[in-house]
Structure 1
Amino acid sequence: MSKDKLAGLRAKGYDFDINSILERGFRMFLVQPLLSIAYTLLIITIQFMFAMYLPEWTFLYALLLAPPLFTGFYFVANKISQNQAVVYPDFFKGFSVAWAVITIWLIGQLITALGIFAFVIPGIYLAVAYSFSVLMAIFGGFDFWTALEESRKLITVRWWKFFLFSLVLLLFNVIGVLTLFIGLTVSLPVTFYATYILFEDLTRDIFAE
Structure 2
Amino acid sequence: MNKEKLSQLRERGYDFDIANILERGFRMFLAQPLLSFSYTLLIISLQLLFALYLREVTFLYALLLAPPLFSGFYFVANKISMGQPVVYPDFFKGFSVAWAVISIWLIGQILTALGFFAFIIPGIYLAVAYSFSVLMAIFGGFDFWTALEESRKLITVRWWKFFAFSLILVVINLIGLLPLGFLLPVTIPVTFYATYILFEDLTRDVFAE
TM-score range, shorter chain: over 0.9
2:63 equivalent in structure 1: 63
Paired position in structure 2 for 1:192: 192
What does residue 176 of structure 1 align with?
A: 176
Q: 1:179 deviation in Å?
A: 2.0
Q: Match for 1:146: what amino acid?
A: T
Divergent runs of 4+, >3 A: none
Q: Deviations over 1:37-59 (max 9, x none)?
A: 00000000000000000011111
In structure 2, runs of 5+ residues without a counterpart are: none
- Whole-angstrom CA distance in 1 between matches of 2:61 and 2:70: 12
Give 1:110 deviation, angstroms.
0.3
Map Cα deviations across residues 165-189 of structure 1 (whole Å, 9 max, x no partner).
Answer: 0000000000111221111010000
1:126 aligns with 2:126: yes
Let me know the Cα RMSD of the aligned residues: 0.7
- Partner residue in 2 for 1:11: 11
Q: How far is the alpha carbon of 1:208 from its aligned partner?
A: 2.4
Q: Secondary structure at the match of 1:204?
A: helix
5 Å-filtered alignment, 1:47-196, equals: 47-196=47-196
TM-score (norm 1): 0.99
- Equivalent pairs counted in the alignment come to 209
Amino acid of the residue matched to residue 9 of structure 2? L
Structure 1: gaps (5+ residues) = none
- State the SS of the aligned residue for 1:182: coil
